């Protein structure tokens, strides 16, 4: 059965480092998998933000 060079490389990599998939899952969970947003808390955070002036370099003194 034919296997491309990339498939062979990935299979060799998985054989050399069996914990690779688990490390990938932990990395994904750390960076991408987020908890659901609490809408009440988000509303409170948005209301408590200080609005930015249209031109940030100009200060009204």
Query: 60 pLDDT exceeds 70?
Result: no
| CA–CA gap between residue 35 and residue 12 (Å, rounded) | 35
pLDDT tens for 31-56 read 888 888 899 999 999 999 988 777 77
pLDDT tens for 6-40 read 999 999 999 999 999 999 999 999 888 888 889 99
């Amino acid at each position: 059965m034919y296997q491309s060079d990339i498939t062979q490389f990935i299979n060799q990599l998985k054989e050399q480092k069996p914990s690779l998939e688990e490390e990938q899952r932990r990395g994904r969970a750390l960076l991408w998998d987020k908890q659901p947003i609490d809408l009440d808390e988000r509303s409170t955070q948005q209301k408590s933000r200080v609005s930015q002036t249209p031109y940030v370099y100009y200060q009204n003194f």
